[in-house]
Structures are given as structure tokens and as C-alpha cells.
């Protein structure tokens, strides 16, 4: 087996399973960095590549929760050196010239790149990204821990820190899964009164271990009413794509409260406008973040001892990991076997 090639898992045909392939190890162009992948998280966002959406060109190597080390740099790269521990997330680069970039809103760039869609991602032994897409991984985090923080972590951390909740405020986390189990930890360490919400009681124990102060079983009736009995939430962060459940959360917000949606089921939200008008409540969403946001997430996780709960798979078992995503406890991570 030639050392100029690498093992990768590709989407070759829309709607089909991942295919194992031996492809050339890419060379970084000007302004690019090559990363030797040590871990890559498995995320529902890979489904966009699998379904051939957002104009993705096939074949494509998916994967956007990447943790590894710099292996080579292209010309003009000054911020990174071979051996640096780095992560690459969903946001894979900005144009730097559109109105949003010029305002510092790089994640809203009109020509933003998405890792694993715009170019090959981390279901491989090596990947390449523009230098502005990299985040530095602190020494306290292992590659396995860092990988899920590059999407599930940054999305929940970023949404919470921009939510207008302050220390002591009540924050409800809807869903105790891949996103929610991180959101609970972030909310707890940010000083919020944290309420976890999930169907059934099986996850109550782990939710409390991760930092939840209270727990609501959504099978036991209206979550909005249950939140109201607990004094109402300043912020409800929904990590579960369920429009009916999200609409119910709105009723559990205290006046001035905010429902923050970071997962969607592609259905319309049926909201009571009176809750918006008379209580000045708001509904908003949050979308990922750029590389500096990822770095902030990693540093906060290292500082406050926040870690994802992970199950590891060999890269060749990516299909099994993807199929088991909804049953994972709580985030699956692929580990390449470098040759």
C-alpha cells in the first residue's frame, strides 16, 4: 500500500452508504493547512452529503468534527506549524470581503465554506482546510474529547453565551443527547440554574450528574406548564428537532424569555403570538460559529473540565457509527488507522 494514498470513507452516490476508498493524500495549496486526522466526530450534518444536498459534488469525504495535528502547510501560512494540535468544525472558511465578514460575522459569510460539503472532510486519515478554519486545541483535551466540541460543542456553547441569560438565570436544555449532554455541562459551568428536559426518566440520573439542577419528563404533560411551575425559564435551548415540542417550550418562558432553536425537523412552528406580544418573549435560532468561537469552546471546556461522553469506532466502521447515531451515549467518534 503506497504511503502517498490514504484510507477515506466517501459519499459516492446520493442516498447510498459510505464507501471505503483509497485516495491520494492531498497537498496543501497556498493559504491551506494539511491536518493528520486523529479523531472525527459523527454528526447528523453528514446527512447533507449523503443526500447530495446544498450543491455538494460527489464523491465527497464527509466529516466536520475534526481533531488532529498539522502535518504540512502551504505557502503563505504563518499562524500554524507542523505538529500544532488543531480542530476543524462545520464552518470551513470565509470570503473575508462580504458585508458580514467585514462586520466580523464570519459564520454568516455569504460564500462560507462547509467542511465535508464544500471540500473533503475528516472521514479520512488526512484533510486540508484554509488556515482561517483552524482552532487550536488546548493540551488538556484529548483528540477524542476535542472532536465533538468542534460542532456539538461550539453550537451549544455559542448559543448559550449569546442567549442573554446571566448567572443565576434559569436555562432549560431540551434534549439529553449528543448536543444536550454538552449544553447541560456548559449551562451549569456558566452559572445558570439548569433544567434538563427529556422523554422518560432514564436519562435523569446522567443529566443531574452532568450538572442539571432540575429535570422534567416531557412524557408527563406540558413542558411549558412544568417550566412555569418552576418559575419559568429565561432561556430554553432546544437541541431536539421537534416543532411541536419547541412550540410548547415557548409557554414555559418567563416574560422577556427567549427560545433558542439549534435543531430543526423542517416543519413549521405553530406559535401563540400572544405569548410573544404580552410577555415580550422571543424565538430565535443559532448557527454554529467560526474558528475563534471553536477555540473559545475548547478553552472553556478545558478550563471547566467539560468533556463529551463518547463511543469510539474505527474509521472503516463509519457506516455503523452513523446508523447508530441516535442510540449513541452520547457522541460517536471515528479513529483513523494511519498506515
Where along the chain do its domains lie?
Answer: 5-151+289-335, 163-285
DSSP characters for 252-302?
TEEEEEEEEE----SS-----HHHHHHH--EEEE-----HHHHHHHHHHHH
If you average pLDDT over every residue of the chain, what do you get? 96
Is 163-285 in the same CATH topology as 5-151+289-335?
no
241, three cell numbers: 428537532
Identify the band that residue 100 occupies on the pLDDT scale cut at 50, 70 and 90.
very high
Q: What is the pTM of this model?
A: 0.95
Q: Report the run of H or E that residue 319 belongs to, with start and end.
A: helix 318-323
* pLDDT tens per residue, range 15-35: 999 999 999 999 999 999 999
Residue 336, CA distances (Å) to 38, 40, 41, 131 in order? 6, 8, 11, 22
Please state, in angstroms and rounded to a whole number, the distance separating the CA atoms of residues 241 and 244: 9
Q: What percent of the chain has pLDDT over 90?
A: 94
Beta strands in the chain (DSSP E): 5-10, 19-24, 32-41, 65-73, 85-88, 126-130, 134-136, 170-174, 193-198, 214-217, 233-238, 253-261, 282-285, 310-314, 331-335
Domain 5-151+289-335: which CATH class?
A: alpha beta
Task: With a cut of 80, say whether residue 339 has pLDDT above it.
Answer: no
Closest Cα to residue 165, out of 189, 183, 191?
191
Assigned superfamily of 163-285: NAD(P)-binding Rossmann-like Domain (3.40.50.720)
> Rounded to an integer, what distance in angstroms lies between the CA atom of residue 261 and that of residue 258?
10
Amino acid at each position: 500500500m503506497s504511503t502517498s494514498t490514504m484510507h477515506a470513507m466517501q459519499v459516492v452516490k446520493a442516498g447510498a452508504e459510505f464507501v471505503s476508498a483509497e485516495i491520494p493524500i492531498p497537498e496543501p495549496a497556498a493559504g491551506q493547512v494539511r491536518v493528520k486526522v486523529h479523531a472525527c466526530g459523527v454528526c447528523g450534518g453528514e446527512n447533507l452529503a449523503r443526500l447530495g444536498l446544498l450543491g455538494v459534488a460527489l464523491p465527497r469525504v464527509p466529516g466536520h468534527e475534526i481533531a488532529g495535528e498539522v502535518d504540512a502547510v502551504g505557502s503563505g501560512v504563518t499562524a500554524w506549524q507542523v505538529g500544532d494540535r488543531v480542530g476543524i468544525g462545520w464552518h470551513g472558511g470565509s470570503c473575508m470581503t462580504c458585508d458580514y465578514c467585514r462586520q466580523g460575522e464570519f459564520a454568516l459569510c455569504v460564500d462560507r465554506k462547509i467542511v465535508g460539503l464544500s471540500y473533503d472532510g475528516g472521514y479520512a486519515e488526512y484533510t486540508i482546510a484554509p488556515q482561517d478554519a483552524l482552532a487550536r486545541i488546548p493540551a488538556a483535551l484529548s483528540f477524542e474529547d476535542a472532536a465533538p466540541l468542534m460542532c456539538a460543542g461550539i453550537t451549544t456553547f455559542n448559543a448559550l453565551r449569546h442567549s442573554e441569560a446571566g448567572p443565576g438565570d434559569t436555562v432549560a436544555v431540551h434534549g439529553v443527547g449528543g448536543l444536550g449532554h454538552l449544553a447541560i455541562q456548559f449551562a451549569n459551568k456558566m452559572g445558570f440554574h439548569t433544567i434538563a428536559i427529556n422523554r422518560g426518566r432514564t436519562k435523569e440520573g446522567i443529566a443531574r450528574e452532568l450538572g442539571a439542577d432540575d429535570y422534567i419528563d416531557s412524557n408527563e404533560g406540558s413542558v411549558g406548564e412544568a417550566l412555569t411551575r418552576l418559575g419559568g425559564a429565561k432561556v430554553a435551548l432546544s437541541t431536539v428537532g421537534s416543532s411541536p415540542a419547541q412550540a410548547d417550550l415557548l409557554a414555559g418562558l418567563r416574560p422577556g424569555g427567549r427560545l433558542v432553536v439549534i435543531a430543526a425537523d423542517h416543519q413549521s412552528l405553530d406559535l401563540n403570538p400572544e405569548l410573544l406580544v404580552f410577555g415580550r418573549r422571543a424565538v430565535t435560532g443559532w448557527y454554529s460559529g467560526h474558528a475563534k468561537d471553536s477555540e473559545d469552546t475548547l478553552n472553556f471546556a478545558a478550563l471547566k473540565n467539560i468533556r463529551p461522553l463518547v463511543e469510539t469506532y474505527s474509521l472503516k466502521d463509519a457506516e455503523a457509527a452513523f446508523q447508530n447515531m441516535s442510540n449513541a451515549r452520547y457522541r460517536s467518534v471515528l479513529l483513523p488507522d494511519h498506515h
